[in-house]
Amino acid sequence: MTFNEAPFSINIQFTTPRGFPGQGTFRSDDWDKLLESYLEKERNLVEKGFQVPPLKVFGLKPQKPIEYVEGRVCPKCGSKLVYFEVKGKKNIKCFTSRYDWKTKTTSGCDYIEWSNSMEKPKETEVDFPDMITKAQETLLNKMKTEGTLPDSIDINSLSKNEAKETIQKYKTW
């Protein structure tokens, strides 16, 4: 049998155990024999660490569907607003804004609202709504130092409202 006579062939592509691309062709004039021999060779290649080359995918990455901000429009131009993500945080920008990768410039409306959820809320504002605020504490301490606040008042035991009342009662300005 010569190659020219073989009417059947199977062409395979593989990646060698060290990562090189390769390919091989099986030929036979008998399809059943060819298949049998191919499957045997295939098993052999797998055992020796040959791998199927990764599939090449051409074209654009699937785009996320555009998510519009409901019930709001761009305060600058009145277009729709859309969400866009940076590092997992949702920000808002004007729908008309575009970025040109070729010229590295932006076009369209430049309205952007950055998410401020990166900033951790202050503990006193979230967990202890009644707690004296830092500003009140600073002010009361200043008043105590200046002598406008009676020594009997324990700043640390005051609630937010008590601190407010105390400041109003003893302030000299």
- Residues in contact with Zn ion by CB under 5 A are 74, 76-77, 79, 94, 109, 111
Q: Choose between 24 and 78: whose C-beta lies nearer to Zn ion.
A: 78
Shortest Å distance, C-beta 128 to Zn ion: 40
Q: Are strands 112-113 and 89-94 parallel, antiparallel or unpaired?
A: antiparallel
Shortest Å distance, C-beta 78 to Zn ion: 7
CA distance 115 to 77: 20
Q: Choose between 109 and 158: whose C-beta lies nearer to Zn ion.
A: 109
Paired tokens of 35: 């298949």
DSSP characters over 51-100: BPPPPP--SPPPPPPP-EEEEEE-TTT--EEEEEEETTEEEEEETT-EEE
Q: Choose between 94 and 158: whose C-beta lies nearer to Zn ion.
A: 94
Shortest Å distance, C-beta 101 to Zn ion: 21
Quickly tell me which residue has 């010569």 as its tokens: 2
Distance of CA 120 to the CA centre of its chain: 18
Q: Choose between 6 and 82: whose C-beta lies nearer to Zn ion.
A: 82
Shortest Å distance, C-beta 73 to Zn ion: 8
